[in-house]
Amino acid sequence: MNEGLIEIPGYRVHGRLGKGGMAEVYLATQLSLQRKVAVKVLLNAEDQAFSQRFIKEGHIVAALHHPSIITIHDIDRLADGRHYLAMEFVAGGDLARHKGEAFEPQRALRIVRQIASALAVVHDHGLVHRDIKPANILFRDDGTAVLTDFGVAKEVELDHDLTQFGIAVGSPAYSSPEQAQCQALDARSDIYSLGVILLEMLTGSNPFRGANYTQTLMNHLQMDLPDLPAALHGYRWLLERMLAKDPDERFADCQVLLASLDELQQPELDSSRGGPGLQPAGQTAGARRKRLLWALFGVLLLGGAGGAGYYGYEQLQIADYLAQGEQRLGAGKLLEPPQDNADYFFRQALALDAHNRQALDGLQRVLQARIQGYLEQAEQRLGEDRLLLPEDDSATFYFRQVLAWEPDNLLAEAGLARVAQRFIEQSEEAYARREFALALEYIKSGLEVQPANETLLGLYDDHDRRVALAQAPRPAATRTSSAAKPREQAKQNPIKRLWNNIFNN
C-alpha cells in the first residue's frame, strides 16, 4: 500500500535506514522477541546469481561468532520473491561519518584491534572479507566497533572465480595492490585495507584516494607511505608492515598483527624501535593521576601490604574513575571528547569491578541525559517542521533514536504521534488548496512515521475518491441563477408575497 515502506511478515517496519545499488535496509521490530533489527532487503529477485550470493552472505555471517562481527537473526524471502536478512541493529553509525577527523591514536588503535580480532575469526574460517572500508565498520552505543557487509566475502580457495576474469572487488580507496591487479586474495589483503583505515584515522585523510578510479588504484601500486607528523612517528613501523606492497612483507595474519598491537600498549618496552613506549611530550592530567596512583601502589607494596595493597590500589583507581565520570557528567561531556567523557570513565570503573553500583548508575544517568537531549532536539525539529528530513536530523530521527534506547519511552511514542498528526494537518491543507498530489505525499510521509496510524490509512484509502469528487462537474439542477433565487423564495413565502402586493399596487 505505502510505496515508502514494505511489509515483512513477523516484523513491524519503522522506516528505511539506507539504500544501495542492490539492496535497501529498514529499521524494524522483530515481533516475536520485540527487539529492534536492521532488515536488508534485495531490490529485486530477478538476478539469481546475486540472490544466491546474498543468501550465502547470511550463512557466512551466521556461522561467525565474535563481539565485533554483526549478528544475523533471520534469513527469509518476501512474497514477491526478494530475499532479506534480519540482523542486529547497530545504532552508533559507521566510521565513514568521521571522514576528515584525526583520531587520538589510542582510539584509532582500539578500533583496529577490535576489527583485527574479528578478522582473525573470519580468516580462521577460511574466508577473506575483501571489502574492509569505513562504511562497513559500525559502532554500538558503547563504542564497540562492529564489522559488517560480507556481501563479497569469499572462501580463499575459491577466490579465483572472480579474479580469473579480471573483475576487481572491494572499494578502490581501500583496495590492496593485489586487489587492484585482480589477483587472488588472502587474509593479508584485508590487513592492507585495515592499514589504510588506520592511516586515515591517525592523519584525517586517505593519501591513496586519487582524482579517479585509475589514479586511486595506481596509488596503491606505487605510492609509498607518506611522511607522518612527528607525534605519529612511533606508529610508522606498524603502518609500514600493514601497508607493504608485497603481501609477503606484511603481517602474516591477524594474530601477528594483534601481537604487535599488544606491544604498543606496553610502555616498558624499548622505545628505540620507534613504536612501543611512546609518550607525548605534554603529559595529560590522566597520565599524572596514573603515575600518582602507581606511586601509592608501590608504597603499599613496600609497606608489606601485598595483596591488600593491590586491592587498595584498585579501589583508589575505581574511585578516581567514578569521580572523573561524575565530573564529566556534570559538565555535559557524555560521549565526547574520546577517553575523556562520562561514559568512558564509568566503563573503566566497571572494567575493574563489573558490579559496581555507582558506575552502573552513572551509565544509566548518561543514557537518560542522552535521551533528554534527543527529546529536546526532536521538539526543536518538530517546531521547525523538520518532520522526516533530513534523515539524521529530523524530529522522527530523534524520537526513533530514543525508542531504540528505551522502547517504552512514552514521550518519544507521543512525539511520533504528533509528527504523524502534523502530516495529517498538512494533507488536509493541501486538499483545501486542491493540491492533491502534495496531499498524497504528506499522507505517505505520515505513514513512514506511523505505518499503523488509522487516520492516515483512511486518508490513503479515500484519496482517489476525494480527488474524483473534487474534480467532478456540479449537477445542472444545482446551478440556479442568483436572480431566480429571490423569486423562488418569494413564491414559497406567503407573508412576503402579501407584503409585496401591498406596496406594489
What is the rounded CA–CA span in Å between residue 249 and residue 241? Answer: 7
Tens digit of each residue's pLDDT, the chain (505 residues): 344 578 999 999 998 888 776 788 999 999 999 999 999 998 888 878 778 878 887 888 888 889 999 999 999 999 989 999 999 999 888 999 999 999 999 999 999 999 999 999 999 988 888 889 999 999 998 899 999 887 544 444 333 333 333 334 457 899 999 988 888 889 999 999 999 999 999 999 999 998 888 889 899 999 999 999 999 999 999 999 999 999 999 999 999 999 989 877 654 334 334 444 344 433 444 554 554 454 444 444 444 444 444 556 677 788 888 999 999 999 999 988 878 899 999 999 888 888 899 999 999 999 999 999 999 999 999 999 999 988 889 999 999 989 988 888 889 999 999 999 999 999 999 999 999 999 999 999 999 999 989 999 999 999 999 999 988 887 655 554 544 555 555 455 555 655 565 555 5
CA distances from 346 to 105, 320, 381 (A): 21, 10, 31
Strand partners, 26: 16, 39
227 classed as catalytic: no
Question: What phi and psi, each to the nearest 5 degrees, are found at residue 138?
Answer: -100, 170
What is the rounded CA–CA span in Å between residue 71 and residue 73? Answer: 6
Catalytic annotation, pick one of 94, 131, 159, 190: 131
What is the rounded CA–CA span in Å between residue 280 and residue 214? Answer: 39
Cell numbers for 158: 575459491
For position 258, what pLDDT does the model report?
93
**Could you tell me which residues come within 8 angstroms of residue 405 by beta carbon, excluding any fewer than 6 positions away?**
91, 141, 367, 370, 371
Q: Which residue has the cell 584491534?
A: 113
Strand partners, 72: 87
Contact 425, 438 (CB under 8 A): no
Domains of the chain: 11-88 (3.30.200.20), 95-273 (1.10.510.10), 285-355 (no CATH)
Exposure of 222 by Cβ count < 10 A (0-12 exposed, 13-18 middle, 19+ buried)?
exposed
The region that residue 284 occupies, defined by phi over 0 for left and psi between -120 and 50 for alpha, beta otherwise, is beta
Question: Cα 134 vs. chain centroid, distance in angstroms?
Answer: 11
Q: pLDDT tens-digit profile of 87-109?
A: 999 988 899 999 999 999 999 99
* Whether the predicted model's global pTM rises above the 0.75 cut: no
Q: How many other C-beta atoms are found inside a 10 Å radius of the C-beta of residue 177?
A: 19
Helices (H), 243-388: 254-264, 285-302, 307-330, 342-352, 357-383
Helices (H), 243-280: 254-264
Calculated CA dihedral for residues 184, 186, 188, 192, nearest 10 degrees: 60
What is residue 445's DSSP assignment? H
> Collapsing DSSP states into helix, strand and coil, what is residue 77?
strand
